[in-house]
Amino acid sequence: MRTITYAKAISEGLAQAMRRDPRIYIAGEDVGIVGGTFLATQGLLAEFGPERVRDTPITETAIAGHAVGAAAAGMRPCIEIMWMDFMGVCMDEILNQAAKMHYMFGGQIELNLVIRVPEGAGFRAAAQHSQSLEAFFTHIPGLKVAFPSTPYDAKGLLMSSLCNRNPIIFIEHFQLYGWKGEVPEEEYLVPFGKAAIRREGTDITLVSWGWMVHKALAAANQLAQEGISTEVIDLRTLKPWDQETVISSVRKTKRLVIVHEAVRMNGFGAEIAATVGEEAFDSLDAPIKRVTAPDTPIPFSPVLEDAFLPNELTIAEAMRSLL
C-alpha cells in the first residue's frame, strides 16, 4: 500500500467525497489559494473552483454561522477553523445552534456539518494558539468528536464524517500533518465509536488519542525492554468513545494509564477514569493514573513548553509507578 502524509490523506478524502456529493463544499481562512495553513486542502481549488472551495474573511463567527444555515438548508459544508483556540469566537453558533437544531425542531432538520480544526502545542505558538480543548465539545449534547492519530484514520474518519447526519468536530493535531502512513487510494470509512488497539499487552492498559498515541507507543516500547507488556488503545473518536474496548482491556491488565495533552482539570481523561471506576472497579489492582499537561497556560519559552507537554519519559514513569 502507498504511503502518504496525514495532510494529504485529508485532502484526498475531501476530494473523493466532493466528487461523489455535490452538496459538499469547503470554506475557511486560506483554504483555497493557499491550500490551507497546513496544506490539508491543497489542490482542491483547482479541481472544484471557488464556489466549492471558499476563502473567507477572518471571522470565525461568520464562517460557522453561514455553515449552520447552509447545513440546515440541505448543504453539507466542511469548514475549517484555523486554530482550536479560535473556536471560542464561534461557540454560540456551535453550542446553541449546530448542536441543538435537530433536537429543538423535532428532528425536522439535520445538520450535515463538519468543522475541521487543528489543535495542539509544540510549535512555540504560545498560550493563544496551542490549546487542546477537545473536552469542551464532548460535553455538548448533539455533537460528535473525532480525533484521528494516523493518516489512515484521518481519511477514513473524515469520509465517515462527511456522510454523517450530525454536526461533527474533526480535530487534527498540528504535529501530525507531516506524519506518514499507509492509506488506500479508494474510498473507505472508519466508524465512530470504535477504538484501535495499536499494541497488545497484558500488564498495563494505556489509553490515548491524537498525537499522544505516538508518545504512548514510544513509552510502551521503552517499557517492553524492561519486560513490561503494555496494551495501547487509540480511541480515534471521543464522542462516542469505545467504552467496551477500554473496559475489556482493563479487566485483562488490571491497570490503567490515560494520556492526553490537554490540561488535567476536567480533561477527557477524567471521563474515562470515572467510567472505568464505575464499570470495572473490581478489576483494578492499582489506582488509575492520568498523564496530562499541568493546569497552566501554555508557555512560549521552548524549555518551558517542552516541560509542559507529556512525553514518553513521563508516561513510562507513570506506568512503572503502578507495578
Q: For 125-146, what is each residue's pLDDT tens digit?
A: 999 999 999 999 999 999 999 9
CA distance 249 to 203: 10
pLDDT reported for residue 1: 85
pLDDT tens digits along 30-53: 999 999 989 999 999 999 999 999
pLDDT reported for residue 232: 98
The angle at the Cα of 164, spanning 155 to 18, to the nearest 5 degrees, equals 55
CA dihedral 77, 78, 84, 86 (to 10 degrees): -40
Which residue type occupies 102? H
Q: Is the predicted pLDDT of residue 313 greater than 90, yes or no? A: yes
| Average pLDDT of the segment spanning 221-228 | 97
pLDDT tens digits along 230-287: 999 999 999 999 999 999 999 999 999 999 999 999 999 999 999 999 999 999 999 9
CA distance 104 to 163: 22
Which residue type occupies 143? L
Catalytic amino acids? Answer: 129
Alpha-carbon distances of 254 from 35, 67, 258, 315, rounded to whole Å:
47, 45, 14, 17
Which residue type occupies 21? D
Question: What cell does 263 get?
Answer: 490540561
Contact 169, 145 (CB under 8 A): yes
Burial of 257 (0-12, 13-18, 19+ CB in 10 A): buried
Per-chain mean pLDDT for the chain: 97
List the beta bridge partners of residue 172. 118
Q: 55: closest CA among 81, 78, 28, 35?
A: 28
pTM of the model: 0.97
| Average pLDDT of the segment spanning 296-323 | 96
Cell 474515562 found at = 272
Q: Which domains does the chain have, with CATH numbers?
A: 3-182 (3.40.50.970), 196-321 (3.40.50.920)
Percent of the chain at pLDDT above 90? 99
CA distance 176 to 212: 10
Q: 146: closest CA among 201, 209, 207, 200?
A: 209
